[in-house]
Amino acid sequence: MAKKKNKDFSVIFVLGPPGSGKGTQIKLLAEKLGYYHFISSKIGKNYVNSHNDLETLRQMDRYKKGLLWDKEWMFKVVKEKTEEFISDKDECKGIIYDGSPRTLYEAEKLYEFLKDKIGKENIKIIEIDVDIEELLERIEKRLICSKSSEHVYIKSEKLLPGISCPEGDGILQERDLDKKEIFKVRIEEYKKETLPGLDYLKKQHDVIVINGDQTIEKVHKDIWLALKQKKK
């Protein structure tokens, strides 16, 4: 007997290289749709903080160096948390993934798992396409709040390291992962690990490609219009 799929639950993947602005777009979409903003790195760190076995500690060491979590470990953590949300459909009607999938392994496993659980028609995939060579310049200008990494800003005369966060009670600061030497490692990891996963998804599913070399507002508008067209 075939398993009954949860047709009332939807997920969106938003993919793109580090610094492409996908976190900002995911936050805007999550607020508009009422979906859970599933930050894989945050889920991973929460798991690390609640476990002290040697494998988990090894994963945290990789993360601090700018490397991806091991693919099998990351999928296990993401799958467990996703199942919790799907089971609790009265509280959560959908997920937008921020940081998953990051490997071919995770793309294959997570896509097949979700297709089985909620149906292919309830999966949307968005690629934010940007010029990777220009990302380093963009990332060097990025600031985050010391109390919430979800508050992201671009350096300007009014927004500088050390001043108060406009949206919280923290202080604006540069993120260690955005330092030039670490960011270059992240870009190489993206090319080596994440792009093959994106190529796999493009063979399995219709992927919405959005030009990320635009203003935040224009990128968000393009994403929203594309999602509305998909519903027709």
From first to last of its 232 residues, the chain has per-residue pLDDT tens of 445 565 689 999 999 998 888 988 999 999 999 999 999 888 888 887 887 788 888 888 887 777 777 888 889 889 999 998 998 766 788 999 998 998 899 999 999 999 999 999 999 999 999 987 778 777 777 778 887 766 777 777 777 888 888 887 788 887 777 777 788 888 888 899 899 999 999 999 999 999 998 888 999 999 999 998 877 5
**Per the confidence metrics, is the pTM higher than 0.85?**
no
Burial of 151 (0-12, 13-18, 19+ CB in 10 A): middle
pLDDT value of position 149: 67
Peptide bond between residue 161 and the one before it cis (omega within 30 degrees of 0) = no
Give 166's contacts (C-beta < 8 A, 6+ positions apart).
Answer: 151, 153, 159
Per-residue pLDDT of 140-195, as tens digits, reads 777 788 877 667 777 777 778 888 888 877 888 877 777 777 888 888 888 998 99
Domain 10-131+191-231 belongs in CATH node 3.30.70.20: no
Instruction: Indicate the domain borders of the chain.
Output: 10-131+191-231
Nearest of 188, 139, 177 to residue 42 by alpha carbon:
177
pLDDT value of position 200: 97
Largest CA distance in the chain: 63
Residue 208 identity: I
85 DSSP 8-state letter: H
pLDDT value of position 150: 67
pLDDT value of position 224: 95
Within 10 A of 171 (CB to CB), how many other CB atoms are there? 15
Residue 37 identity: H
Peptide bond between residue 101 and the one before it cis (omega within 30 degrees of 0) = yes
Coil/strand/helix, residue 174: coil
Nearest of 207, 152, 230 to residue 15 by alpha carbon:
207
Instruction: Give the strand order in the sheet containing 172-173.
Output: 152-154, 142-145, 172-173
pLDDT value of position 95: 95
pLDDT value of position 5: 61
